[in-house]
Amino acid sequence: MTAILKTPAAWPAILLRREGETGGETARDPKRRAAAAGAAGPAFDGLRRSVRELGSRGTIALLAEAGLRGRGGGGFPTADKWRAAANAEAPAKYVVANGYGADPSSLTDRTIVEREPDAVVEGVAIAAWTIGAEEAIIAVRAGSTDAIAALQGAIDAALSRGELGDDALATGRRLVVEVRTVQGAYMLGEETVLLKALDGRRGQPEQRPPHPSTTGYRGMPTVVQNVQTLASAAWILRNGAAAFRATGTAETPGTILVQVAGNEQGGVAEVPFGTPLGDIVKLAGGVGAGRSIKAVLVGGPSGGILPADRLSTPYTFEALRLLGAHVGSGSIMVADDRACVVDLARVLTRFCADEACGKTIPCRIGTARLAEIGERMSAGTSRAGDVQLATDLADDIVGSGLCDHERLATLPLMSGLRYFGPEVAAHVERGECPAGVCRPIHFAASAPTAPQPTMAS
């Protein structure tokens, strides 16, 4: 299990209960969980409130009042999605909880599923009740045994308490939650791709609109929601909108899990939206003594590389997007003064290009060419005009991309160019790497693997 970073006691805990409270390790042990649930009174109070007091409209209104937004990276207002699905007329509706966790170096989604499976299942049940779905799916990565066991335990407990099942909450309505595993591609985190994988099809994104909330799983209205979003929804129903609004910022109340990696330690932490990046970096100890922070990589494989002087930026969807980064997978990684921005951008862009699905030209060819430009820069074989070419290409990809993946894949290189111009110029114009990482001159002689040939296309 991942390390949970200690956060200041003043920070609210919405998603992960703090050590000493029930939850955490307790959540994974069925016996201890049953005991804890007994002590804490009936579980799924949020679901009861949603079903018995508020009803569908009331629940959606409460979420809108609380200002809940998606934690999966996009920050889309959750109430709008649920309203669209609730209003849609269809023979069947579905809820899909996205717990895939596409970024291989971020374990935020897995952490909440392992530690707070009850909150996730309760959130799923609330969503299903609200939009009128009888079946819900929680999609997790194949092989995450702990997460699957935790979810299954929570579902079984809810079944035995009568909150799920053929006669859920004694209302005569059927509500079943199923855990499904998917694997085999980074893109499976994207909602339309996830729906296709669950449907047994090739995982390539679909054009939107129609959004999944009207045409989703098996062509039916489907609410696809990140597991953290669903756990937050359950918390809001239990504690009210005003309490939720007390944390975070006005546009984005609440908290989010981030995966922070400093030089010495790293782990998952729950931070309120609007926390300055610098404070988040400090949770993992920064770069340690004797080193200085050169850059922070915010957002995972398609994240932006922000310079140290932007550490005062609040962690919100809008502020990060303005700077050319994004919330993405919740990953925040610190690079110290020894790192090379071009090398970093090269690694990230290459991964994004390799994982692009191939459906559209910006995705298939655009990202590949972008990755090649990055590789040329770090190999010291840049051609005249490569910087301009990369910028123009990135513009075209952003303008013509089908899904968000290829649009975001431009961020590492573009933010590198934006904030570390002189360092990039040293690579491009003189074939030098100021940090001494790329060593273009030594590259051919000492490289264990042959450098990528860069012939004219």
Partner 1 sequence: MSFIPGLGLVKGMGLTLLRFFEPKATIRYPEEKPDVAVRFRGRLQLLYDEWGTLKCETCFQCAQACPIECIDMGGMDTKGRFHVHWGPPETYGERREESALRRSGRTVPDRAFEHFEPHDTTAVDGILEDHDYDPKALLEILEATQAAYGFLPVAALKRISEKTGTWYAMIYGTASYYSHLRFEPPAAEIQAAALAGRRPAEATYVAGLGASLHGRTGGDA
Ligand X SMILES: Cc1cc2nc3c(=O)[nH]c(=O)nc-3n(C[C@H](O)[C@H](O)[C@H](O)COP(=O)(O)O)c2cc1C
- Per CB under 6 A, the segment of 63-71, 321-329, 353-361, 380-388 that binds ligand FES is 353-361
String of DSSP letters for 296-348: EEESGGG-EEEEGGGTT-B-SHHHHHHHT---TTSEEEEEETT--HHHHHHHH
Cα 335 from Cα 357, distance rounded (Å): 29
Q: Is 248 left (phi over 0), alpha (psi -120 to 50) or beta?
A: left
Residue from 24, 74, 240, 274 binding ligand X (CB under 6 A): 74
For the segment 310-339, give every residue that binds partner 1 (CB under 8 A). 331, 333-336, 338-339
Inter-residue contact 74 to 112 (CB < 8 Å): no
Q: Does 371 bind ligand FES (CB under 6 A)?
A: no
Q: What's the token pair of residue 207?
A: 């054009």
User: Which lies closer to ligand FES via its Cβ, residue 294 or residue 359?
Assistant: 359
Judged by beta carbon distances under 5 to 8 A according to partner kind, the member of partner 1, ligand X, ligand FES, none in contact with residue 375 is: none
Cα 276 from Cα 269, distance rounded (Å): 14
Inter-residue contact 40 to 216 (CB < 8 Å): no
Judged by beta carbon distances under 5 to 8 A according to partner kind, the member of ligand X, partner 1, ligand FES, none in contact with residue 363 is: ligand FES
Q: How many residues bind ligand FES (CB under 6 A)?
A: 11
String of DSSP letters for 87-105: H---S--EEEEEE---STT
- Per CB under 6 A, the segment of 25-33, 68-76, 146-154, 435-443 that binds ligand X is 68-76
Nearest distance from C-beta of residue 355 to ligand X, angstroms = 8
Inter-residue contact 223 to 131 (CB < 8 Å): yes
What 3-state class would DSSP assign to 106? coil
Inter-residue contact 82 to 63 (CB < 8 Å): yes
What letters, b where the CB count within 10 A reaches 16 and e where it falls short, cover 369-386? Answer: bbbbbbbbbbbbbbeeeb
Nearest distance from C-beta of residue 72 to ligand X, angstroms = 3
Which of 17, 423, 2 has the alpha carbon at shortest distance from 238? Answer: 17
Q: Does 363 bind ligand FES (CB under 6 A)?
A: yes
- Per CB under 6 A, the segment of 221-229, 317-325, 341-349, 355-363 that binds ligand FES is 355-363
String of DSSP letters for 228-256: HHHHHHHHHHHH-HHHHHTSB-SSSBSEE
Judged by beta carbon distances under 5 to 8 A according to partner kind, the member of partner 1, ligand FES, ligand X, none in contact with residue 406 is: ligand FES
Judged by beta carbon distances under 5 to 8 A according to partner kind, the member of ligand FES, partner 1, ligand X, none in contact with residue 226 is: ligand X
Residue from 27, 66, 127, 224 binding ligand X (CB under 6 A): 224
Classify strands 331-336 and 293-298 as parallel, antiparallel or unpaired: antiparallel
- Per CB under 6 A, the segment of 121-129, 213-221, 246-254, 402-410 that binds ligand FES is 402-410
Nearest distance from C-beta of residue 398 to ligand FES, angstroms = 12
Cα 10 from Cα 351, distance rounded (Å): 38
Judged by beta carbon distances under 5 to 8 A according to partner kind, the member of ligand FES, ligand X, partner 1, none in contact with residue 22 is: none
Backbone phi and psi for residue 320, each to the nearest 5 degrees, phi listed first: -70, -40
Judged by beta carbon distances under 5 to 8 A according to partner kind, the member of ligand X, ligand FES, partner 1, none in contact with residue 340 is: partner 1
- For residue 161, CA distances in Å to 43, 81, 134, 155, 203 come to 9, 29, 18, 10, 37
Nearest distance from C-beta of residue 237 to ligand FES, angstroms = 35
User: Which lies closer to partner 1 via its Cβ, residue 78 or residue 144?
Assistant: 144
Residue from 83, 141, 359, 376 binding ligand FES (CB under 6 A): 359
Q: Mask: binding to ligand X, 81-120, rule CB under 6 A, as x and -? A: -----------------x-xxx------x-----------
Q: Does 186 bind partner 1 (CB under 8 A)?
A: yes
Task: Tell me whether residue 161 is exposed, middle or buried, using C-beta atoms within 10 angstroms of its C-beta: 0 to 12, 13 to 18, 19 or more.
Answer: middle
Q: Does 263 bind partner 1 (CB under 8 A)?
A: yes
Nearest distance from C-beta of residue 92 to ligand FES, angstroms = 28
For the segment 196-255, give every residue that binds partner 1 (CB under 8 A). 197, 199-204, 218
Residue from 158, 281, 348, 356 binding ligand FES (CB under 6 A): 356
- For residue 267, CA distances in Å to 81, 260, 280 come to 31, 6, 11
Nearest distance from C-beta of residue 113 to ligand X, angstroms = 11
Binding site for ligand X (CB under 6 A): 70-74, 76, 98, 100-102, 109, 187, 189-191, 224-226, 229, 403-405
Interacting residue ranges for partner 1, rule: CB under 8 A: 2-3, 104-107, 110, 142-143, 182-186, 197, 199-204, 218, 259, 261, 263, 266, 297, 301, 331, 333-336, 338-340, 343-344, 347-348, 350-351, 354-355, 357-359, 364, 437, 453, 455-457
